[in-house]
Amino acid sequence: MSRYTRAFRPCLGQRVVHVALALCSAFVAAPLDAASDLAELSLEQLSNIVVTSVSRREEPLGAAAASIYVITGEDIRRSGATTLPEALRLAPNLQVARADADQYAISARGFNNTIANRLLVLIDGRIVYSPLFSGVFWEVQDVVLEDVLRIEVISGPGGTLWGANAVSGVINVITRPAADTQGLLVAAGAGNRQRGATTRYGGTFGADGHYRVYGKHFDLDNTRRADGVPTVDGGSRGQAGFRADWGTARRGYTVQGDAYRTDIAQPVGGSRNLGGANLLARWSESREDGSSVQAQAYYDRVERDQPGAIREELDILNAEFQHGFDAAKSNRVLWGAGYRYARDSIENLSPGLAFIPGSRNLSWYNVFAQDEWRLRENLALTLGAKVEHNDYSGYEWLPNARLAWRLTPERLLWSAVSRVARAPSRIDRELFVPARPPFALAGGPDFKSEVSNVLEIGYRAQETHALSYSVTAFRHQHQRLRSIELRPGGSVLENRMEGSTTGVEAWGTYRVTARWRLDAGWVELRQSLRPTPDSTSTATAAGLGNDPNRWITLRSAFDVTPRHEIDVLARYVSELPNPQVPAYTAVDARFGWNVSKELQLSLLLQNLFDRSHPEWGPVANRAEFGRGVFLKVLWRP
């Protein structure tokens, strides 16, 4: 059964703490020598990491008025992550559930699903969500993790700057400039569940140009069910690409592109063959009067052959422009516009479902403006709005107001009020089950945008040189959520579900010594969804997502010597309600050895204290994830 039809199928936390602290305590006894890379950045420097996703301009992390967490390139290296979804587990404000060898359910603040549709994801400025369902196919999103500068993860709305679909969060993957990836890099690894290799080379051209080219390949083995039977979901991935940067500090140009091919096994019908390519160009300029201009355009080609379901060819063209300037001494204005066009051609292969019509031309266009007032030296008010048009529901109004109060140089109190929308996708309007009438389920011809009104209040502090933390409370009030309504002759997708999502998310960092750093995160989430009084639906809201009430992460990074490092990641996820998935605790450990400046070895041990556990799906056919080992060699000659 395809992922599309599945989408509509109607304490222990203390144990994590004890396990992680016990492991870390053993490491403290190791001898300490000279300072290492882990100690190079103080917590003050970490809080001043420049981020761009909150205001669409550079600002220190400590001053960003949003619930934002930054995964650094060093965090990724020390985690041992081999794929982008696994690296996202480092963000405590994300819920990451692995469905099988290749597929993931990733969301922020609820509504998690393998076809989750309320999270906007960008890779170097390129939006990667699919107009098919307004979500992300994680099995084809890949980067060279060694080249990632940082991943900015915002939990909460970002519609004013990023548009519809940035409802519950924004993930912005930012890779390093080509100038920072010069020379040769070779990485290879193998384990009991996966193996792969990456090669990247960077060089120069002209007076001020730098480039890099790369190629990588990765194989994933089949997972197994609880009874030991293989689930037939293994895959093989190959990707190659380049990036070129040139210009000056004031005026810069970037051209980059990727091409990929992924083959994923499935029980019947042959493998899913996925492929595509993209090409992006960007120009940015900082002017002497303090203003800035940026323009970018990209083309994205996606090919998806899923036997027994669909064969899709998708072409996307996207262009956008933004301009920032000081309207007065204490008044900063940012405005911009964008246009996106998609041609989506689908060949329906299954009698069980169909997208009708098969081919669609879709377009979106928007204009936005944001004004930041410095009311006082320590008080800033930001007002903004975006007007966005889509072919299904017309115009959407996406306003936002943020207030940031710098209580002291080390403490920030902020609040925000937003209206965000999730625009209709093809799955909402044009999915039909079965492929021929009479239809048991039909896309809704009048399906409208889902709307959420969001209130947030947060506090971020650098309490001491060793301790920093962030706490955010939020409430999302939802309207016009997707529902399955009973109608004569079958069911129709409509907007007759409503409700709320409330919660608290918190994380912090404590530097125990110059060589030992602890990170912790805790999220409490409560969701209440119900049909509207005029709904005829007999289904529950479970089809909108499957979320735990709580998840906790603990991470330890410890340098035993300047050449030896030990990292531990422990995570606890409470039970998923429907379909029911038991709570689980997973502990991973990584041992790193910097043999020389050029050569690094690492050993990743996964799921140390649990034989296996599921993370997603109904009990009959869901994958279980057991103990794993992965040995990696990294060489920079």
Report pLDDT for 46: 60
Rg (CA), the chain: 24
CA–CA separation, 470 and 379 (whole Å): 19
Report pLDDT for 45: 61
CB 497 within 8 A of CB 447: no
CA–CA separation, 607 and 614 (whole Å): 12
Which 3 state secondary structure label does DSSP give 80?
coil
Which of 575, 607, 528, 514 has its CA nearest to residue 28? Answer: 514
Query: Superfamily for 3-635?
Result: TonB-dependent receptor, beta-barrel domain (2.40.170.20)
- Cβ-based burial of 320 (10 A; exposed 0-12, middle 13-18, buried ≥19): buried
Which of 92, 94, 110 has its CA nearest to residue 577? Answer: 110
Report pLDDT for 182: 98
Cα 557 to Cα 46, 498, 519, 551, distances in angstroms: 15, 43, 8, 20
- Cβ-based burial of 441 (10 A; exposed 0-12, middle 13-18, buried ≥19): middle
CA–CA separation, 163 and 171 (whole Å): 13
CB 300 within 8 A of CB 276: yes
Report pLDDT for 43: 55
Report pLDDT for 27: 33
* Spans of the chain below 70 pLDDT: 1-47, 538-543
Which of 425, 525, 531 has its CA nearest to residue 481? Answer: 531
Which 3 state secondary structure label does DSSP give 96?
strand
C-alpha dihedral sign at 44, 50, 52, 55: positive
Report pLDDT for 541: 55
Q: What is the DSSP string of 173-233?
A: EEEPPGGGS-EEEEEEEEESSEEEEEEEEEEEETTTEEEEEEEEEEEE---B-TTS-B---
Report pLDDT for 377: 92
Report pLDDT for 269: 84
pLDDT, tens only, 201-246: 999 999 999 999 999 999 999 999 999 999 999 999 999 999 999 9
CA–CA separation, 320 and 294 (whole Å): 8
Residue ranges of domains in the chain: 3-635
The beta strands (E) that lie in 393-549 are given as 394-408, 411-422, 431-433, 441-442, 450-462, 467-487, 490-513, 516-531
- Tokens linked to 584: 């689980």
CA–CA separation, 143 and 86 (whole Å): 12
Cα 249 to Cα 243, 245, 253, 283, 531, distances in angstroms: 18, 11, 10, 12, 54
Cα 565 to Cα 76, 145, 147, 589, 607, distances in angstroms: 14, 19, 21, 11, 19
**Taking the complete model, does pTM exceed 0.85, yes or no?**
yes
CB neighbourhood size of 40 (10 A): 10
Report pLDDT for 135: 93
Q: Give the angle 409-413-416 at the CA atoms, nearest 5°.
A: 140
CA–CA separation, 304 and 518 (whole Å): 42
| DSSP letter assigned to residue 428 | H
CA–CA separation, 363 and 260 (whole Å): 25
Report pLDDT for 259: 98
